[in-house]
Amino acid sequence: MEIQGSLERLLRPIALTDFFDQYWERAPLIVRHHAPNYFHSVVSFSEIDRIISTLDLRFPDVKLVNSSDNIASDQYVLPGNKINRTKLCQLFEDGSTIILNGLQDWIPSLADLCRGLEHDLSLPIQANVYVTPRLSMGLKIHFDTHDVFVLQIEGCKHWTLYDIAIELPLRGQEFDPASHLPGEISSEFELRAGDVAYVPRGLMHSAKSQDDYSLHVTIGVLGYTWADVLTEALAALALREPKLRKAICPGFAKASFDRSILERISEDLGRHCMKHMDILSAIDHFSEEFALTRRPVLVNQLSQTMNGRDVRFDTIVGVRPDLICKVREDLETVQLICYNNNVTIPGFAKEAIHFILAHPKFTPAEIPGNLDGPGKITLVSRLIREGILHVVEGHEKPC
């Protein structure tokens, strides 16, 4: 899948405006692509088989679940959390589902899809893969604390949706089978190869494979909430405002304490906080955190770094299509925040940086601003080394 427009490709023919207006955080959606091979470029059973059979993935990145049997990890996990592959496969054949967590870190095509969705949503994305044998159910009825897109890769699963247990639960409001009961069935459907289901957080659900094994990818949207923003803004305000750092009134817990005093103070603090909290700065904090913590997807970075030494005025370069970068400016510098790094550029190159980040393809000779020729070459070479630019055409060295 291409980086750009990943969400549109998942949901077509549903328009993105319709999705966000009618379904996002509101209601489930099933998208029929009528193309069993629609997601074969993302992942396949043979690729998952290779990963399980050859890579040194460990528990709990790989685990087994079975809705009808509690599978203890010591049945398939060796000392050091290594996986007993033969036992894992035997338990799979006996009815247990294999879950591989965070496979976007291991499969480039899955990494591309997740990075594209991060571009589209400005939210962290994780991909977990589920392999379920025929006529089996891995997880019991439950809900998730994050929204998910379910991509059915191979096989088919019968899904059952129930009531919403908690509307838009926070990350700490985990599913509790003792207190969160499924309620009435709200809908049932079959998800076939090539189809997508969107399931908002808090919606109770279960899924069972049919006459053949099932392979699906669950794309988890690990979002930020307004509660996160307000908490961050309040914490920042508390560093500036001594009145928020005062202790609660002495004796407030006594039955005889005059609660009208607490009501007066809380109302005053509420008005003060709403007036002085800097909500936009708190949003900027999460924007920078998002850009800073995205895992680099740097294809051929070793050869690109070598290419950076030989950049000329006619070398065609461009911003990496997978780049997620936050720009912070002051009078003296321009800072590019990405890849757990803060790339600081002198302020006199500000016009050049804005041009570079806005163009997927250009030559150093085209860069505007007050940099001289060697300065443009130096800037481009550095940004290639930092993984922000890549050589598109010209003087590429083999990896």
Residue 399 maps to a domain? no
- Mean pLDDT, residues 221-239 taken together: 97
Question: What are the tokens at 116?
Answer: 């594209």
- For 321-350, how does the pLDDT look when each residue is reduced to its tens digit (9 = 90+)? 889 999 999 989 999 999 889 999 999 999
Mean of the per-residue pLDDT values of the chain: 94
Check whether residue 200 and residue 253 sit in a common domain. no
Check whether residue 127 and residue 17 sit in a common domain. yes
d(Cα 260, Cα 241) in Å, to the nearest integer? Answer: 23
Q: Where are the beta strands (DSSP E) in the chain?
A: 29-31, 62-65, 97-100, 125-132, 147-154, 156-164, 187-192, 196-199, 203-209, 214-221, 316-319, 326-329, 333-338, 341-346, 389-393
Residue 296 maps to a domain? no
Tell me the CATH number at 349.
3.90.930.40
Percent of the chain having pLDDT more than 90?
92
- Mean pLDDT, residues 254-273 taken together: 96
Check whether residue 198 and residue 233 sit in a common domain. no
- For 168-207, how does the pLDDT look when each residue is reduced to its tens digit (9 = 90+)? 999 999 999 999 999 999 999 999 999 999 999 999 999 9
pLDDT at 3: 45
Check whether residue 80 and residue 208 sit in a common domain. yes
- Mean pLDDT, residues 41-56 taken together: 95
Residue 398 maps to a domain? no
Check whether residue 132 and residue 230 sit in a common domain. no
Between 297 and 227, the more confident residue is 227
Check whether residue 21 and residue 113 sit in a common domain. yes
266: containing domain: 226-288
Among 236, 360, 376, 240, residue whose Cα is nearest residue 311: 376
Check whether residue 275 and residue 326 sit in a common domain. no
Residue 141 maps to a domain? yes
pLDDT category at 63 given cuts 50, 70, 90 is very high
Question: Is-contact 276 241, C-beta < 8 A?
Answer: yes
d(Cα 221, Cα 217) in Å, to the nearest integer? Answer: 13
- For 284-321, how does the pLDDT look when each residue is reduced to its tens digit (9 = 90+)? 999 999 999 998 888 899 999 998 889 999 999 999 98
Check whether residue 237 and residue 176 sit in a common domain. no
Question: What are the tokens at 22?
Answer: 């009618």
d(Cα 137, Cα 67) in Å, to the nearest integer? Answer: 6
Question: Is-contact 187 26, C-beta < 8 A?
Answer: no
398: pLDDT strictly greater than 90: no
Residue 91 maps to a domain? yes
Residue 185 maps to a domain? yes
pLDDT category at 394 given cuts 50, 70, 90 is low
Residue 293 maps to a domain? no
Check whether residue 139 and residue 242 sit in a common domain. no
End residue of a domain, out of 221, 245, 278: 221
pLDDT at 393: 75
End residue of a domain, out of 221, 238, 266: 221
4: pLDDT strictly greater than 60: no
Tell me the CATH number at 41.
2.60.120.650
End residue of a domain, out of 186, 201, 221: 221
Check whether residue 100 and residue 26 sit in a common domain. yes
Residue 294 maps to a domain? no
pLDDT category at 2 given cuts 50, 70, 90 is very low
- For the chain, report the end-to-end CA distance as a whole number of angstroms: 23
Among 147, 145, 151, residue whose Cα is nearest residue 113: 151
Rg over alpha carbons for the chain, rounded to the nearest Å, is 26
Check whether residue 23 and residue 143 sit in a common domain. yes
What domain count does the chain have?
3
Neighbour-count burial for 251-282, b at 16+ CB within 10 Å, e otherwise = eeeeeeeeeeeeeeeeeeeeeebeeebeeeeb
Helices 259-276 and 226-240, packing angle to 10 deg: 100
- For 145-155, how does the pLDDT look when each residue is reduced to its tens digit (9 = 90+)? 999 999 999 99
Check whether residue 107 and residue 192 sit in a common domain. yes
